[in-house]
Amino acid sequence: MSALFDLFSFAAIGAGVFFFFAGTVGLIRFPDSLTRLHALSKADNLGLGLIVLGLLPRADSALAAFKLVLIWALVLASGASTAQLIGRALRRGQK
Amino acid sequence: MIPPAPFDTKAAAARLAFFFALWLTIAGWTAKDVPVGLAAAAGAVWISLKFLPPGDARFRPVQLIALAARFLSASLIAGFDVARRALAKRPDLDPGFVSCPIGLPSGAARDAFLLLQSLQPGTLPTGVEGGSALVHALDVSQPVAAAFAAEEGHFRKAFGHE
């Protein structure tokens, strides 16, 4: 059973790392700040979500697991709102 | 200027309990830290009442769960979509702004909807001007405005904003 959990953690964290990698590639390769924002907000949120998912079976307690999910939600909300604010500032700056 | 709403003791107490529970979850249960937690929770209540006055939002649990499921699957697709575009031999992009009419009135519900929308595949709202959300899209050949309108419909159903 624990081997199965380990395999799950390994797969989920590995997938999370892949999305962080892809987001970083987008950050470097995309042509302007607006498209780079897409790369960061989407790929990194998914990457963090998968890493949190992979860490859940390894959490010491239900409280620790809940804390992990809470951290993901906070990062998600703050990342998504900041991306919109930066996007709006960029759009107004373009005109 | 919006006139200040009368102080809602019930809402403030409920929010204080919520933020303090949140603080305890994150920081832990040490007695000497409790005053700090209460002060932080009180500050959070003050800010939340200022920016998110108690409203009459109705929650519909079933539709809300459906919305959460849609949101999670959409963020999965969004992550794959942006990863594919980033890792393509030549970045696969046709970026631009799409003007999407929005029916939700200005306020917390609209902000929440735009937040969810910013995690949809290939779209990033960058503010609302004259009744339309200006959405930046990674690929303007996609049906951005139609998808936006459909999502707004689902959102309104979940929160009873019909």
Per-residue pLDDT tens over the stretch B33-81: 889 999 999 999 999 888 777 765 666 777 778 888 888 888 899 899 9
Determine, yes or no, domain membership for B106. yes
Q: Are residues B74 and B148 in the same domain?
A: yes
- Ranges of residues in chain A whose predicted pLDDT is under 50: none
Tell me the ipTM for this assembly: 0.84
**Domain that residue B81 falls in:** 61-159
**Domain that residue A72 falls in:** 2-94
**Which residues on B lie below 8 Å from A38 (Cβ)?**
82, 122, 124, 136, 138
Q: Are residues B70 and B124 in the same domain?
A: yes
pLDDT category at B30 given cuts 50, 70, 90 is: confident
* B99-153 residue pLDDT tens: 899 988 887 788 888 988 888 888 899 988 888 899 999 888 888 888 899 989 8
Q: Are residues B112 and B130 in the same domain?
A: yes
Q: Cα–Cα distances in Å, from B155 out to B44, B68, B99, B104, B129?
A: 26, 10, 19, 10, 20
Nearest CA to CA, how far is A12 from chain B (Å)? 13
Q: How many domains does chain A have?
A: 1
Q: How many domains does chain B have?
A: 2
| Residue B59: DSSP 8-state | P
Nearest CA to CA, how far is A2 from chain B (Å)? 27
Q: Are residues B38 and B73 in the same domain?
A: no
Q: Cα–Cα distances in Å, from B49 out to A29, A73, B17, B91?
A: 42, 21, 14, 44
C-alpha neighbours within 13 Å on the C-beta side of residue A20: 11
pTM: 0.81
Contact B140, B94 (CB under 8 A): yes
From the list B75, B82, B126, which residue is nearest A88 (CB)? B126
The contacts of residue A86 (CB under 8 Å, 6+ apart) are A33, A37
